[in-house]
Amino acid sequence: MSDEFIKQEMNVTGEGFLPGLAIDTVIFGFHDTHLKVLLLTYKNTGLFALPGGFIHQDEDVNEAARRVLFSRTGLTNIFLEQFYVFGDKSRHDTAPLKTIMTARGFIPGNDHWLLKRFVSIGYYALVDFTKAIPTPDSISDSCDWFSLDSLPTLMQDHRQIVDKALQTLQASLDQKLIGFNLLPENFTMGDLQCLYETILNKKLIRTAFQRKMLSMGILERVAKKWTGGAHKAPYLYRFIAER
């Protein structure tokens, strides 16, 4: 779904767009030990969905994903990555799209391009949710953060898409250095551990975590400024710039 939807609704053959191909983005918001997901609600339907969109004929697929992310959050230069293609034939389900269009007073013909089988490319992003400005698209009522542990029922296979995105995020936490986008320039080992614990949804042992992080060669310790209680303040770290 996207701001382009109205144009596409009238454009029954889908001219100007790649046929049968969509993007769904799982936008994880992190702040202060909480992990949330951005969802849209469609007008007069009660349907919840991931932000998504279609790809213009003259647009790269990754570019379309960045456009969707920007449209829904106002953010650019964000970690945004493909993680899986959802291409099972069983995901073809015209009911929710008919509901959305009908609720808007538009009765689509059965050969409307939006009712054909779509393959969706899943992307995930991780943003500081205090910095995002959630913005509904033209056919949705609202665009809001929902806690990962209390998501409403999502349309089509969107719940499966969220779960797969979370698994990918958890599995690639070290490799992707996702914290780079999410932590302030200088942070304590405790801040970093808190980020990991929130994403992995489990407690980590402080000493083992610290040892692992330091052994990865990605952190440098920031020289401590002398203050009265300096010996009590924790060390500050930052990511080594080249990474």
Residues near a second copy (CB under 8 A) are: 18-21, 55, 57-62, 82, 84-85, 87-90, 117, 119, 121, 171, 175
Query: Can you say whether residue 40 is alpha, beta or left, with left for phi > 0 and alpha for psi between -120 and 50 degrees?
Result: beta
Least Å distance, CB 18 to a second copy, is: 5
Rounded distance, CA 160 to CA 154, Å? 9
Least Å distance, CB 41 to a second copy, is: 28
**Closest Cα partner for 1 from 152, 104, 133?**
104
Decide whether 12 or 151 has the Cβ nearer to a second copy.
12
Question: Can you tell me whether residue 119 is helix, strand or coil?
Answer: strand
Decide whether 48 or 196 has the Cβ nearer to a second copy.
196
Decide whether 69 or 121 has the Cβ nearer to a second copy.
121
| Residue 23, H or E segment | strand 17-31
Give the contacts of 112 (CB within 8 A, at least 6 positions apart): 12
Least Å distance, CB 124 to a second copy, is: 14
Least Å distance, CB 117 to a second copy, is: 7
Rounded distance, CA 57 to CA 73, Å? 24
Decide whether 85 or 205 has the Cβ nearer to a second copy.
85
